C-alpha cells in the first residue's frame, strides 16, 4: 500500500513548541507576527527597503510600520511584478539608462532590495518560530510512514524534515529526491551516497528554509545567481556547533538543528568570474551605528532557496530543479492508493497545485482513497468532489486540527462526518 501525505500551512500552524511562544503566521498576519519577535528589534534584520517601499508606494508612515499588517503575498507579489517590469525594460542596465531620472534610479533600487529583503525576512520569521523542540505532531506522522510512502509539502519550514531525521532513516543527503551539492553539519561536507532507500521522500515543492543558493543579481533582463555552478546546484544547512562564515560575519547563535539566524552560512561555491579585461570589486557602506559581526565572511553570500509566497511563481529561475520535484509529486499521486490532505486548503493563487491533482488523476485507472484532515474542510471537500471527481465512497473528512494524535493508517470507515 502506497500513501501520499500532502501538508499545507495548517500542519505548520499546529506547532506550539517554539522558543518564541508564537505560531507560524499565515499571509495576512505575517507582519503582525514579525513585530512580536525579537528579530523585529535586531539591527541585522534588514527591513529598510521594505519600509521605504510601503512609504513610497503605499503611503505608509515610517513610524507606523510597527503596526503594518499587509498580506505578505499581496505585497511580495506587487513588488515582484514591478521588479520584473524593471528587468524587462532595462536589460542593459538594471537601474536604468541615461534618460532615467534620479527618482527612477532610487525607486528601482528600492524595489530590487525590498524584494530580497522580503525573502530573507520571510525565512527569518520561519526560522525563529520553528526553533524549539521537535514537533510532536510531525514526529507522530513520521512514525506512521514507510519507505513506500511520500510527503508532498508546500511549506517552507523544516518541522517535517527534523521529525523524519529524528525518527526514521531519512536524511537530507538523499531524502529530498534532489541531491544537494553540499551539506552543512558544522562544516561543508559531501552528501552521503546511500544505495537503498529505507525512508519516505520529502518533496518540498516551494523550496525550503534550509536550502541555500547564491544571491541573484540583475543581468540582461534576468536575475542570475552569482555562483559559477549551475543554477540548479544548491546546498542544505543542517546544524552547526561553531560560528559559521556569513555575510559580514553576522552570525547569530542559539538555534536548533535545521534553523539558523537571519544570515545563512556562506556557500563553498566559486563566484562568477568577471568578463575578460574586467575586475570584480565587492564593497559595502559601513554603518558606524551597526554592530559588528563576530565571525568571518569567507565564502559566497547565500540566500534561502524558496519560491516566495507570490502569485506568479518563478520556478524556472532554478532550471529544472522544481520541475523534477513536481514531476515526482505527480507520479506519487498517480501511484498512491491513499492520499491524506492535512492542513492544505488549495488557495486560488496556487493554481498549479490544482493542476497537479487533475493531471495525476487523469492518468489513473482507478481513484484513490482521499482523507481530508482540516478544521474547516468544506471547501476542500467540494474541490475533490466537483473538480477532481472523487466519489463519496472514496472520500473521508476529519474535521479536526493536525495534532500528535492524528492517525493516517485508519480504515476509511473508521471516521464519520
Residue 414 reports pLDDT greater than 50: no
| Phi, psi dihedrals of residue 236, rounded to the nearest 5° | -125, 130
pLDDT bucket at 279, cuts 50 / 70 / 90: very low
**Enclosing domain of residue 116:** 27-130
Residues forming beta bridges with residue 397, ordered by sequence position: 372
Query: How many structural domains is the chain composed of?
Result: 1
Residue 231 reports pLDDT greater than 70: yes
pLDDT bucket at 411, cuts 50 / 70 / 90: very low
Flag whether 102 is in a domain: yes
State the Cα torsion 166-170-175-176 to the nearest 10°: -30
pTM of the entire structure? 0.94
Alpha helices in 158-276 (DSSP H): 159-167
Residues forming beta bridges with residue 267, ordered by sequence position: 300
Residue 394 near residue 370, CB atoms below 8 Å: yes
Of the candidates 19, 311, 24, 36, the residue with the CA atom closest to the CA atom of residue 155: 24
Q: What is the mean pLDDT of residues 110-130?
A: 97
Element (H, E) at 339: strand 338-342
pLDDT bucket at 417, cuts 50 / 70 / 90: very low
pLDDT of residue 284: 61
pLDDT of residue 96: 72
Question: Grid coordinates 512514525 are at which residue?
Answer: 143
Cα–Cα distance measured from residue 52 to residue 54, given in angstroms and rounded to the nearest whole number? 6
**pLDDT tens digits, 134-188:** 999 999 999 999 999 999 999 999 999 999 999 999 999 999 999 999 999 999 9
Of the candidates 344, 342, 328, 340, the residue with the CA atom closest to the CA atom of residue 369: 340
CA angle (278 as vertex; 277, 282 as ends), nearest 5: 160
| Radius of gyration in angstroms for the set of CA atoms belonging to the chain, rounded to a whole number | 22
Flag whether 53 is in a domain: yes
Of the candidates 325, 212, 267, 256, the residue with the CA atom closest to the CA atom of residue 19: 256
Residue 344 three-state SS:
coil
Percent of the chain with pLDDT over 90: 80
Q: What distance, in Å, lies between the first and last C-alpha atoms of the chain?
A: 25
Contacts of 368 by beta carbon, 8 Å cutoff, 6+ apart: 333, 336, 337, 338, 339, 394
Q: What is the mean pLDDT of residues 344-349?
A: 82
Residue 6 near residue 341, CB atoms below 8 Å: yes
**pLDDT tens digits, 177-217:** 999 999 999 999 999 987 678 899 999 999 999 999 999 99
Burial of 43 from C-beta contacts in 10 A (0-12 / 13-18 / 19+): exposed
Flag whether 97 is in a domain: yes
* Three cell numbers, residue 130: 520553528
Q: What is the mean pLDDT of residues 270-290?
A: 65
Of the candidates 206, 191, 232, the residue with the CA atom closest to the CA atom of residue 152: 206
Flag whether 226 is in a domain: no
Residue 251 reports pLDDT greater than 90: yes
Residue 276 reports pLDDT greater than 70: no
Cα–Cα distance measured from residue 201 to residue 206, given in angstroms and rounded to the nearest whole number? 15
Flag whether 331 is in a domain: no
pLDDT of residue 297: 95
Residue 390 reports pLDDT greater than 70: yes
**pLDDT tens digits, 317-343:** 999 999 999 999 999 999 999 999 999
Residue 283 reports pLDDT greater than 70: no
Flag whether 214 is in a domain: no
Residue 298 three-state SS:
coil
Flag whether 123 is in a domain: yes
CB-CB neighbours of 62 under 10 Å: 11
| Phi, psi dihedrals of residue 202, rounded to the nearest 5° | -115, 105
Residue 207 near residue 156, CB atoms below 8 Å: yes
CA angle (381 as vertex; 375, 382 as ends), nearest 5: 130
Mean per-residue pLDDT over the chain, rounded: 92
Flag whether 208 is in a domain: no
Amino acid at each position: 500500500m502506497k500513501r501520499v501525505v500532502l501538508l499545507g500551512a495548517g500542519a505548520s500552524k499546529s506547532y506550539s513548541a517554539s522558543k518564541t511562544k508564537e505560531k507560524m503566521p499565515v499571509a495576512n498576519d505575517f507582519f503582525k507576527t514579525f513585530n512580536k519577535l525579537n528579530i523585529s528589534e535586531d539591527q541585522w534584520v534588514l527591513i529598510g527597503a521594505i519600509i521605504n517601499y510601503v512609504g513610497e508606494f503605499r503611503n505608509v508612515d515610517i513610524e507606523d510600520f510597527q503596526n503594518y499588517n499587509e498580506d505578505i503575498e499581496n505585497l511580495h507579489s506587487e513588488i515582484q511584478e514591478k521588479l520584473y517590469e524593471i528587468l524587462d525594460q532595462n536589460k542593459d542596465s538594471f537601474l536604468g539608462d541615461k534618460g532615467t531620472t534620479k527618482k527612477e534610479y532610487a525607486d528601482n533600487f528600492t524595489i530590487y532590495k525590498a524584494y530580497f529583503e522580503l525573502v530573507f525576512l520571510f525565512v527569518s520569521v520561519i526560522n525563529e518560530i520553528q526553533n524549539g523542540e521537535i514537533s510532536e505532531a510531525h514526529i507522530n506522522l513520521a512514525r506512521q510512514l514507510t519507505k513506500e510512502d511520500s510527503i508532498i509539502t508546500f511549506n517552507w519550514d523544516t518541522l517535517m524534515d527534523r521529525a523524519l531525521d529524528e525518527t526514521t532513516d531519512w536524511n537530507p543527503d538523499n531524502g529530498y529526491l534532489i541531491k544537494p551539492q553540499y551539506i552543512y553539519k558544522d562544516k561543508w561536507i559531501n552528501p552521503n551516497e546511500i544505495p537503498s532507500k529505507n525512508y519516505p521522500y520529502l518533496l518540498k515543492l516551494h523550496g525550503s528554509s534550509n536550502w541555500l543558493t547564491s544571491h541573484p543579481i540583475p543581468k540582461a533582463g534576468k536575475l542570475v545567481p552569482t555562483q559559477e555552478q549551475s543554477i540548479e546546484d544548491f546546498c542544505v544547512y543542517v546544524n552547526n556547533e561553531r560560528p559559521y562564515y556569513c555575510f559580514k560575519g553576522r552570525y547569530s547563535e542559539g538555534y536548533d538543528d535545521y534553523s539558523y539566524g537571519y544570515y545563512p552560512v556562506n556557500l563553498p561555491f566559486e563566484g562568477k568570474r568577471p568578463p575578460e579585461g574586467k575586475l570584480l570589486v565587492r564593497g559595502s557602506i559601513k554603518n558606524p551605528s551597526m554592530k559588528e559581526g563576530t565571525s568571518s565572511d569567507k565564502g559566497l553570500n547565500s540566500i534561502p532557496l524558496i519560491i516566495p509566497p507570490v502569485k506568479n511563481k518563478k520556478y524556472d529561475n532554478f532550471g529544472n530543479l522544481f520541475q523534477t520535484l513536481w514531476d515526482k509529486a505527480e507520479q506519487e499521486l498517480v501511484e498512491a492508493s491513499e492520499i491524506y490532505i492535512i492542513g492544505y486548503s488549495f488557495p486560488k493563487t496556487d493554481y498549479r497545485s490544482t493542476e497537479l491533482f487533475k493531471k495525476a488523476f487523469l492518468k489513473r485507472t482507478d481513484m484513490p482513497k482521499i482523507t481530508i484532515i482540516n478544521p474547516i474542510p468544506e471547501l476542500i471537500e467540494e474541490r475533490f468532489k466537483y473538480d477532481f471527481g472523487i466519489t463519496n465512497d472514496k472520500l473521508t473528512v476529519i474535521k479536526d486540527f493536525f495534532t500528535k494524535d492524528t492517525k493516517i493508517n485508519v480504515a476509511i470507515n473508521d471516521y464519520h462526518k
